[in-house]
Structures are given as structure tokens and as C-alpha cells.
Amino acid sequence: MPASAHNLPALPGLAGRAKRFLVQLKRYLNPVEASEYIGVSSSWLAKLRLYGGGPRYSKIGRNIRYPTDELDAWLACNLQTSTSETCYSRSGSEHSE
């Protein structure tokens, strides 16, 4: 009988790690995947879309997609060493974090 995935022992936590790995390989992420990618809730990303200050995204019809390079750039922009630092977005406008 050939070995299959059904015959392999269960490894706790592998599904979550595999999912995160696959999400990291994708070029465009939906809001739920994007929130997992950067470690925030999808509702928080929705608020940032409404009020501004979040990562740039594309809207195609009703579908929202976040390019992973924009998520990485947004995270890099928000690196701080103190609470009084200010972040500059890619558009050049200043916003306080």
C-alpha cells in the first residue's frame, strides 16, 4: 500500500504553521490573510481602511487585496524606538503612530 498523507502521524500545530507559510508565499492577500500576516485583527485593518493610516491595498469590485510588499513596507515604516516618533507614509504625508 503506498504511503499517503492519511497514513502520516498527526503533528500538532503543523496545519497553522503550514498555513502561515503558504500565506507568506502569496503575492496578494485578502483582509483575513493580511491580518494574520501582520499580526492584527481583520476588523482593525477594516478601520484603518476607513480612517486611513494602514497599509495600501487594491480594491477590485468588492474584493480587497493587500500586496505583501506593501504590508512589509508598512511594517518597516512603523518600526519605532520611542512613542514620540513619527512615521512617514509612502505618499510623503506625515502621520503619528
pLDDT at 9 over 70: no
pLDDT 10s digits, 70-86: 999 999 988 888 877 76
Does residue 17 belong to any structural domain of this protein? no
Q: Where are the alpha helices (DSSP H) in the chain?
A: 14-25, 31-38, 42-51, 68-77
More confidently predicted of 80 and 16: 80
Does residue 44 belong to any structural domain of this protein? yes
Does residue 5 belong to any structural domain of this protein? no
Does residue 84 belong to any structural domain of this protein? no
Does residue 52 belong to any structural domain of this protein? yes
pTM of the model: 0.61
Mean pLDDT of the chain: 77
Does residue 87 belong to any structural domain of this protein? no
SS3 state at 4: coil
pLDDT of residue 35: 94
pLDDT 10s digits, 83-94: 777 665 444 444
54: containing domain? 29-78
How many domains are there within the chain?
1
- 41, 35 Cβ separation under 8 angstroms: yes
Q: From CA 88, how far away is CA 50, in angstroms rounded? A: 19
pLDDT at 16 over 60: yes
